[in-house]
Amino acid sequence: MNDSGTVHIYKFFVTREIIITMPEEVPPNISQAFADIAPFAATISVTLLVDFVIRSTFGTSFAEWLIGIFQPLFTASDGYLGLAIIAGAMSFFWFIGIHGPSIVRPATSAVEYLNIDINIQTHLAGGRATKLLTDPARAFVMTFGGTGATLVVPYLFMFFSKSKRNKAVGKATFIPSTFAVNEPILFGAPIILNPVFFIPFILAPIINIWIFKIFVEVLGMTAFIFVLPWTIPGPIGIPIAAGFHPLSFVLALVLIVVDALIYFPFFKVYDNQVYEDELAAETNKDENKAIDVQEENTVPNTPEISDDVVPTTNIVLDDKKHVLVLCAGGGTSGLLSNALNKASEKYDAPLEATAGSYGSHNDILKDYDLVVLAPQVASNYETIKKDTDKLGIKLIKTKGQEYISLTNDPEKAMDFVLDKF
């Protein structure tokens, strides 16, 4: 039974309230366990029935039968064309504002985990793992530093920018990007929907996975044999996932150099554009300043306005509020929740923020007063709004640069949230 079938069976039972309900006095987590009994039992029963029919007809289990049907797809996925389509599709969808891995991975995850299992068994048997499309290959090669293989991009901005703005963006985004949380650079530069970066954003992941294929099939490097958290920096994750094969260290270094070479000419074009805009803005500022000086000499003196900055954050909450920030994987949401908690501590505000990932939020929504959607899951606004409306919870979505500005300014983030209350 695939994930889609399981979801539909679960939805059928829940929407029709074919569940075991408990008294209100029973704690929610215990009540939920009883509510899940009927839909889970139905799911298991249907799965067993399908497996029985397949075994009776074909003499093999449902899983083995399904793998046999899709074997040509598994084989094609390790070819140059198959790898290019998978890597390019993830980047393309992200470039137009849709979370690419969420679109592509449902079609590739079965192949990834089957391949990593084959690699592990081959390694344990004393052979060399050769299956290419695995979860570590996606996390540490295709998305080297995040979708689009952007690990090097913040460093290019930080060290090679003439533009003050781009240099500041690089300094603000290189740490999260190093740990594969690249939404700050994607929306802060921006790279998303920026035509200058379209080619490298699509090309770098494809070249990366092709280089990995050459290292495994031509140079004799072992493919990945360990599954690791995706937040491990790519240059570290590659050697670990490959069992510290000597060539894996070389591969990590080669990917850094190649990605830098791919992105650098496009980065320079964009940096020159921003730099020229900054020069034009400075020129206009100087001209306006000169005009202001002339006007001051022709009008009577007026009282000066104090330059003292008055904090805009005024805490007006009656009781403690809990805010849930959702993104695709739980990484980007942590940036905003940290900013909110930092401001909350500074102003002694009765507010607490938590980071979460979309899809794992259903059971905890009731514990929050406000849900904030990061840009990559903002398209799910209408879907989640049905649930938040039932619970009487406020829901807001954010846009790219708006979200990044909030993560970099705790006070602004606090104002943004308080305004919703």
Tokens at 269, concatenated = 């074009």
The b/e string for 176-197 (b: 16+ C-beta within 10 A; e otherwise) is bbbbbbbbbbbbbbebbeeebb
DSSP string, 224-245: ------TTS-HHHHHHHHTTT-
Nearest-angstrom CA–CA distance, 415 and 280? 32
Among residues 105, 106, 177, 95, the alpha carbon closest in space to that of 138 is found at 105
- DSSP H/E element including 139: none
Is residue 370 classed as helix, strand or coil in its secondary structure?
strand
Residues 6 or more apart whose Cβ sits within 8 Å of residue 168 = none
β-pair type (351-357, 321-327): parallel
The answer to whether residue 375 is catalytic is: no
Among residues 234, 258, 76, the alpha carbon closest in space to that of 151 is found at 234
> DSSP code of 331?
S
Q: Which of 116, 129, 151, 327 is catalytic?
A: 327
What are the catalytic residues? Answer: 327
